[in-house]
Amino acid sequence: MRPVERALAEAAQRLKGASDTARLDAELLMASALNIERDELLLRPPAGEVPDAFEGLVQRRLAGEPVAYITGRRAFWNIELEVGPGALIPRPDSETLIAAAVEHFAGREAPRRILDLGTGPGTLLLAALDQWPDATGVGIDRSPEGLTYARNNARRLGLAPRAHFRLGNWATGVDERFDLVLCNPPYVAIGAELGPGVAEHEPAEALFAGEEGLDDYRLLAPEISRLLARSGLAVVEIGADQAHTAAELFRSAGHQPLLARDLAGRPRALLIEVKHK
């Protein structure tokens, strides 16, 4: 067995107590240490020695630091984002929002103006702008650190001319209507258990939303009507156990939300349309 392959196997074994994705974590860390893509690592494992930096990366993961913060990047939809402390790490579950929007607009006029509330490192907005090359959009977040990553990602992806980012609290001060509104709000109840290292490293304001995890839905539900253009669509992420309670909050605001499920079949997003006269 080559040194790199042996080091991967040993690291994966060591990481089992710290991660549910130990082998994947080891591969991503090794690829980062070698400065190559994970695909290249798997298809053509290097024959040389293991980089000295690899052990340090493994130690950081064993201490609970998220892999995305260690490597400084995370793949999402069709793009790769730079991430780090102060920015919520994109999750595959959130790709459900983009998939639902793509399905909705198939056979219709594509969205031209897109709003991403709680954009973090630009996750949903930049994925949507990459999907619809004629669209422009706005990303809003209350984290200056997150917006720094968002602007850097937009420049690196060549999307800066079409993406505007601003510091703000949800849609306060927004006086425009959009064809597509995307939002992944905090929806974790205070005190809920999270995966290893999540609460210790990722920004609490992007995770927790009151005793029930519903505080931000209460703020967002009354705002949707004024944010959507005629026949526009809003897609809002929810926790897998919040389909009923979150939907009721939007119904109380006069909407008829539809449910979108993730690849595992779990409730993951609410779709809201507003038919303006």
Per-residue pLDDT of the chain (277 residues), as tens digits, is 579 999 999 999 999 988 989 999 999 999 999 999 999 999 998 888 899 999 999 999 999 999 999 999 999 999 999 999 999 999 999 999 999 999 999 999 999 999 999 999 999 999 999 999 999 999 999 999 999 999 999 999 999 999 999 999 999 999 999 999 999 999 998 988 887 778 788 888 988 999 999 999 999 999 999 999 988 999 999 998 999 999 999 999 999 999 999 999 999 999 999 865 5
Encoded amino acid at 273, one letter = E
98, 103, 107, 112 alpha-carbon torsion, rounded to 10°: -20
Please check whether residue 208 is in contact with residue 189, taking contact to mean a CB–CB distance below 8 angstroms.
yes
Yes or no: is domain 85-273 CATH 3.10.310.10?
A: no
pLDDT score recorded for residue 259: 96
pLDDT score recorded for residue 277: 55
Yes or no: is domain 3-63 CATH 3.30.1380?
A: no
Please check whether residue 234 is in contact with residue 256, taking contact to mean a CB–CB distance below 8 angstroms.
no
**For residue 246, what are the contacts with CB-CB under 8 A and spacing of at least 6?**
187, 214, 217, 236, 238, 239, 270
CA distance 241 to 139: 27
pLDDT score recorded for residue 1: 53
pLDDT score recorded for residue 245: 96
pLDDT score recorded for residue 200: 83
pLDDT score recorded for residue 2: 73
Encoded amino acid at 50, one letter = V
The full set of domain ranges for the chain reads 3-63, 85-273
The 3-class SS string of 140-188 reads: EECCHHHHHHHHHHHHHCCCHHHEEEEECCCCCCCCCCEEEEEECCCCE
- Cα 209 to Cα 5, 206, 219: the distances in Å are 43, 8, 11
Question: Cβ-count burial of 145 within 10 angstroms (0-12 exposed, 13-18 middle, 19+ buried)?
Answer: middle
81, 87, 88, 91 alpha-carbon torsion, rounded to 10°: 10
Please check whether residue 97 is in contact with residue 269, taking contact to mean a CB–CB distance below 8 angstroms.
yes
pLDDT score recorded for residue 203: 87
pLDDT score recorded for residue 113: 98
Task: Report the phi/psi class of residue 230: left, alpha or beta, with left for phi > 0 and alpha for psi in -120 to 50.
Answer: beta
Write out the two tokens for 77.
Answer: 């939809």
